[in-house]
Amino acid sequence: MTRSKQPAPIQHFVGFTSLEGLAQVMDRRKPVYATATSEVISVPGAPMETRALAIVVSQIGGGGVVNMLKFPVGWIQYVNGTPWTRDADARQAEAIQVYRHVVAWLREQGFSKVLDALIAVPRDVVMSEGDIRFLQRDEATGRWTRTDKPEQPGKE
């Protein structure tokens, strides 16, 4: 009888302070999970709800460890499920723009298998927030640009 090798159960979630630091410990041969997400940061079920927009990047490492980064992009307030924040669509578009920059950067770093997915985190685990050093937000336009390479006309 042969036994298949089972992966170690997830035991630890390690939050990184920067995407660049996370990339240093990730294995380029394994899938990287990255997505734009939102989470309720106010009292669930209340008439006014605040949702934080973030980019989450993670990878399952050896020994049951999940290495991850959560990068806050912004927030949107809702009243009874309807966006209250005037520029809600623009804020969601910013999150998608940051996500695209992150996926492009990961692929440039040699991570060929970047999946639009999220590793579920237990409710009692608080994800610390980190930074993406190669991105900068123009406060006047709300546009995110990469500082590690010049912008190309017509590309994001």
**Tens-place pLDDT, residues 5-48:** 666 677 788 999 999 999 999 999 999 999 999 988 877 777 88
Task: Give the chain's domain count.
Answer: 1
Confirm whether 2 is domain-assigned: no
Q: Report the C-alpha gap between 119 and 11 in whole angstroms.
A: 13
Question: Which pLDDT does position 156 carry in this prediction?
Answer: 47
Taking every pair of Cα atoms in the chain, the longest distance, rounded to a whole number of angstroms, is 65
Confirm whether 33 is domain-assigned: yes
Which range of residues forms the domain containing residue 114?
12-119+129-145
Confirm whether 155 is domain-assigned: no
Q: Report the C-alpha gap between 152 and 156 in whole angstroms.
A: 8
**Two tokens, residue 43:** 């009292």
SS3 assignment, position 21:
helix
Q: Report the C-alpha gap between 126 and 124 in whole angstroms.
A: 6
Confirm whether 5 is domain-assigned: no
